[in-house]
Amino acid sequence: MSDQSKEKDYELYKHIKEMRDGSIESFDFIYNETSSDVYRLISMIVYNNMDREDIMNEVYVQLWSSINNYNLDKPFRAWLHGITVRQISNFKRKNWRIFRIFEKQCSMLSREDMSYEPNIIHSELESEIMELINSLSDKLKAVIVLRYCYDYSLQEIADILEIPLGTVKSRHHLALKQLKRRIDLINNVDGGRKNKKWILKGN
């Protein structure tokens, strides 16, 4: 970790402690430091802009009310992501959307070829990929987003969502299985047409 990153983390944790004492200024600092990342995560899952804004508000209301529950020995970013995903789930919306699913960080979203572990999807048609992912349930989508867009391990996802590791593994496996089934169906229906082909790579 660079000296600049260490200094930034020190400043963040300093304000977390002050926020616990009721400091509005420290809350504003934390909001400014984290809101872009939180909104980015919400935007990968929720389609409607108004819903995104409502969820953002709920996330930071929850942050303020539960900051004393945060363990300072744990990564703050992961804890905040957990709040965010739970607030999305609580919002009870069905307009889920994912822009890309792939193995690396979402900073690589501009790549034309998309893949995700275990190298299941390559597609020329982005809209159909989103439609495919949107066929998953909300619980499965949450695992996929955290795993492939934020590069969390399955254990870290379990900690973030506050569910057993076995449950995360089950949802992860089920999501990939459902996607594989849908990809196979599309390939069969398309009959291998070049302008609309999904390619499956197994392990």
Q: What is the CATH number of domain 106-190?
A: 1.10.10.10
* Reported pTM: 0.60
- CA 56 remoteness from chain centre: 14
Report the top-level CATH class of 3-90. Answer: mainly alpha
Question: Domain-by-domain residue ranges, the chain?
Answer: 3-90, 106-190
3-state secondary structure of 101: coil
Residue 190 CA to residue 184 CA, distance in Å, equals 10
- Give the single-character DSSP code of 74: S
8 A C-beta contact, residue 51 and residue 94? no
Q: List per-residue pLDDT tens for the chain, 203 residues long.
A: 444 555 567 888 999 999 999 999 999 999 999 999 999 999 888 877 878 888 998 899 899 999 999 999 999 999 999 999 999 888 754 433 333 343 343 444 444 444 444 444 444 445 566 667 777 888 888 887 788 778 899 999 999 999 999 999 998 888 888 877 877 776 666 554 444 444 443 33
